[in-house]
Structure formats: C-alpha cells, structure tokens
Chains A and B, each alone.
Chain A
C-alpha cells in the first residue's frame, strides 16, 4: 500500500493538510491525542488541501495551527475533504445581518 504524506500542525487540530495527492479510499494512519488509528480518506485530497481527522459537527470550530480557521457549515465525517463547501469563515462577514459572526445559519 503506498503511503501518502500529510501534516498535522498542532495537537488541537481536527484537520490534516495533504502533502501528496491522496486518492479517495486511501487509508492513512493518524496519531491524535496519543491514539494512533487508521482513517479512510473519503474523497481525493489534492496536495495542500485538508481532510478531517475527527468528526466535526455543524457549528463546531475547524482548527489548524491550533487556531480557529472557520466553522463547519455541515457535519463533517472523519476522512472527508474539508474546504469551502463545508467550512465558512467567521471573519469579515459583511453578508451576515448586523455583522453577526456567531454560528452559521442563525
């Protein structure tokens, strides 16, 4: 089985960044909170793109560099591609009524 490279930048993170193109259905070994487990990548993850290394509920923060990079706009399963289709930015949201930056959909 080929091994694909990816990076988890901080122990708090719930996403990993692919350093290779990782084909859909590939299994990758993730170490998170001292627990090693295998997850299956659900879609092809292009170089530089992210996939979830834990389930992320709608409205939950997405964490990279140990910091908030946005909020899940839908439930995201482990191994799913994490990008603009399921993550919303919380900042600079002039489209939100009264500049509301709370959870999406409110």
Chain B
C-alpha cells in the first residue's frame, strides 16, 4: 500500500508552494479583499505555470496529468488563500466541459480555460438551499431565462455552466456571460476575496452540455469531484491556520510564560491538529477515489467534504481565539481564514446537504441485499 502522494507529486506541490509564496503573499490577498479587484496578473501567472491545465488533456492545451497532481496543487491554493477562481473555472466549469461536452465544445473551451484566457463558473443556486424540485431557471429553444444567485466568481467569469429546467427535467447548459440577455450584479458576502454575483438571464442564448434531462446527475458528479479538490483547499487553509496559532502561542507571553505553555492553549492547538489530520486522511481517500474513478467516489467525496469543512472552520475560529484581541483586528490575517473557511463551507452546497449525502451514501453501500 502506498497511501501518500508520489515523490513527483510532492515535487509538484512544492513548486506550487514556492510559486505562491513568491507571487501570492498575504499582502496580495489583502489587496484583493480590500478592493483591488480581480488579480488578473496573478491568474495569468498561475496559468503560465500550467496549474490550471493539470487535469486537462494535452490535446486540449493542458498538461494531461491526473487528479492527484491537481489535488496536491489545490492544497497550496488553499494554504495561500489564493483569491482566484480555480474552484469555479477549473474544478467545475472545465470539468463539466471535459466530461460532458461535445468534441466541438471541448476544442472550443478547454484550451481557453487551461490558459486562463476564459474564466468559467457554475450557476446552480437560486437564492435558497438548492433542491432538484424547486429550480425555476428554464432552458428552451436555445434560450435561457431565470435568476441565479449567488454565483461564485460570477462577477468575473466569461462563461457559466447553468443548471436549468428543460421541460420537466434538468439539463446543464453553457452560456456566454457577455451575450445579450445577461445581467449581473455583484453581491456582498462574508469573504470578499472571492467575488459572487446574481446573474439574470432573459432569453440569453445557451447551448446544452451533455444529454437532455441528465443535468442533475451530471451536476452531482461535478460536485463530488469538486468536493475532493476543495477538501484539499480546505486542509491547506486549516494547516496554515494551525501553524499561525502555533507560532503565535510560542511568541506571545502572558503571566511571565509563553501562552503555548498553558494547557488550555495546548489542548486547543492539539485539537486543531487532530481535526486537520483526520481531514487530510479523508481527503487522501477522496483523492484516491477521484483519481482511480472508483465506485466509492460519492461516499469518499462526501467524507472528505464534511471532514475538511469541519476542520477548516475549527482551525480558523480557534486561530482567532489563540490570538486574543490581536486576532480580531483587520490587520491580522486570522479573519481571512475565518471568512474563507465559512465561504468554502457553503460553496458546493452547505454542510447539511453533504452530511445528508454522506450518511445516505454510507447506508446505501451497507444496505443488506434484498432476498
């Protein structure tokens, strides 16, 4: 058994870490949050490193590597809190086109997505918790009507993959966001390092992706894959929050001692370590299932997702606590992690949906075979 990344994959991760340390230091994240807008130069840099095209075939302009390499890099994007639309454009939009698009759609979009020249997003939610039955956005005769909100990175994306009703079934369609009949409004959210928008479609031209009526199933497949990749972003963030807390506990003195010598702080940091470690192991299991196309993927993805969401939130909130009053200042980075932890927890559908998926998938797997 070899339940770890290979040396080559580790090297890949190191490369991403070096790149992000140099090009995406905390000041650059701060600038994005404080109104610098989308950092296109950073996005181009990431594209030039080949990170966007890792899991996109070579014939479509990617590196043609596997998901494991993408997982390894995702962790580094999470650790650096990169203010970039990788989740939307690569884990979701590019995946959708790669998996369900026609040959022409792939030729048209994958090279552009891999090169960062086009940014994609996925528009599913309609204001409240998403359910298969309550979707209102409709696709008919090549036109799309409806309102999607919030759409992660919908403020900067060029194309959207939209979950819509087609007759009485659901389909996935691709829309050009610069087309007539599309209006977008940026939304204020907990995590300003990633833009969100409301997108209104009024007869916007759209084309179907994959089979009519297969939309919900395709959407679930996309969510499962993205859940594994996002879990790596979450454990990257959790690890960094833990490190920040540990470093501060070593440096800060109270009552003539390092605060890290108080059992309360030690236990808090130890518990952060425990949750981050369990989440990492679960994410590895998800990565294995994703990269091998194992039938366990749905269950492994939900496990990785729930575990990583809890760990990142747990580490981010306790990191503020370890920092005391300092942790509640805008000047410290602690709240960026707290913001991102909560934002990622709600991207791809909120925790209750994933908890539900996890338990129903577990119980389905273990269901006694009917006589």
**A and B: bona fide binding partners:** no
| Residues of A bordering B, CB below 8 Å | none
| Residues of B bordering A, CB below 8 Å | none
